[in-house]
Amino acid sequence: MGAGYDDGWSAVAAEWSELWAGSAGPAHDALIAASGIGRGSRVLDVGCGSGEFLRELGRLGAVAAGVDPSPGMVDLARRVAPLADVRAGDDEDLPWAAGSFDVVTAVNSLQFADDTLAALAGFGRVAVPGGFVAVANWAEGALNDLDVVEAAIAEADDGERPPDGDLRVAGGLEALLVDAHLSVVASGLVAVPWEVPDEDTLLRGVLLGEDPSVRRELEGVVLAAARPFRAGAGYRLLNHYRWAVARTAR
């Protein structure tokens, strides 16, 4: 994330964990299966956020570690996954020795790196020779119901949704891993539904981090755009992550 990292995440860490952290579960499962994580596997999660993946890794019997640049996220991750080694740090300067991990993961975090190739070089440094680097992030907007809502917000604000980044489109993660001199062994697309029980939870999740006045202005826009995704009293938005797993040189 670099020296210019803006820690807006500390202020919203607890609410983000409540509203969003669980939605990445299917992507976690895909990375676990493809990289063979199991009992005794040494796993580092880069950009570990509030620690839910670390907790899941611990339940599998893996030896989990996590790193995040946000102090608020680090504090929360240490509570969520008390057996994990969670440290504050940057993805390009990981505070572990070379060859410390069998698997290095990054879920919805690599795209925040100032230099993604430098970040992947750091992942490879702390992985054992022949170890795995496993990455997942949001797929392109056309595959996400959430994009419909975010497009409506952008239109109401007289703006435009930014184009999909290279890592979100088909083949983007694989190309980046190859550019980082890693050997891709598996990749795919996985559904990550976001289910919320009511309007208030939907609004808090979509407008996370916004000032109360902005939330009030956008409530009607969000609810109108989300109407097609009603499921009983709540909402179900079907989104997708792309993922890829590669091996370091032996």
- Is residue 161 very low, low, confident or very high in pLDDT (cuts 50, 70, 90)? confident
SS3 annotation, the chain? CCCCCCCCHHHHHHHHHHHCHHHHHHHHHHHHHHHCCCCCCEEEEECCCCCHHHHHHHHCCCEEEEEECCHHHHHHHHHHCCCCEEEECECCECCCCCCCEEEEEEECCHHHCCCHHHHHHHHHHHEEEEEEEEEEEECCHHHCHHHHHHHHHHHHCCCCCCCCCHHHCCCHHHHHHHHCCCEEEEEEEEECCEEECCHHHHHHHHCCCCCHHHHHHHHHHHHHHHHHHEECCEEEECCEEEEEEEECCC
Confirm if 202 and 231 have CB atoms less than 8 A apart: no
pLDDT of residue 2: 46
pLDDT > 50? residue 236: yes
- Is residue 170 very low, low, confident or very high in pLDDT (cuts 50, 70, 90)? very high
- Is residue 6 very low, low, confident or very high in pLDDT (cuts 50, 70, 90)? low
pLDDT of residue 61: 98
Averaged pLDDT, 94-115: 96
The CATH architecture annotation of domain 9-140+165-193+243-247 reads 3-Layer(aba) Sandwich (3.40)
Integer angstrom CA distances of residue 203 from 18, 31, 72, 239: 13, 30, 22, 17
Averaged pLDDT, 125-143: 98
Q: Cα dihedral sign for 155, 160, 165, 170? A: positive
Structure pTM?
0.94
Integer angstrom CA distances of residue 33 from 5, 187, 188: 32, 11, 12
pLDDT of residue 162: 85
pLDDT of residue 91: 85
Domain ranges of the chain: 9-140+165-193+243-247
pLDDT > 50? residue 232: yes
Confirm if 88 and 48 have CB atoms less than 8 A apart: no
Q: Is 55 exposed, middle or buried (0-12, 13-18, 19+ CB in 10 A)?
A: middle
Averaged pLDDT, 123-150: 98
Beta bridge partners of 187: 244
What CA–CA distance (Å, rounded) separates 55 from 102? 17
Query: What is the percentage of the chain residues whose pLDDT exceeds 70?
Result: 98
What CA–CA distance (Å, rounded) separates 57 from 50? 14
Largest CA-CA distance found in the chain, in angstroms, rounded: 55
Q: Cβ neighbours of residue 96 under 8 Å, at least 6 residues apart?
A: 44, 65, 126
Query: pLDDT for 197-217, tens place per residue?
Result: 999 999 999 999 999 999 999
Query: pLDDT for 34-91, tens place per residue?
Result: 999 999 999 999 999 999 999 999 999 999 999 999 999 999 999 999 999 999 998 8
pLDDT of residue 157: 86
Averaged pLDDT, 127-141: 98
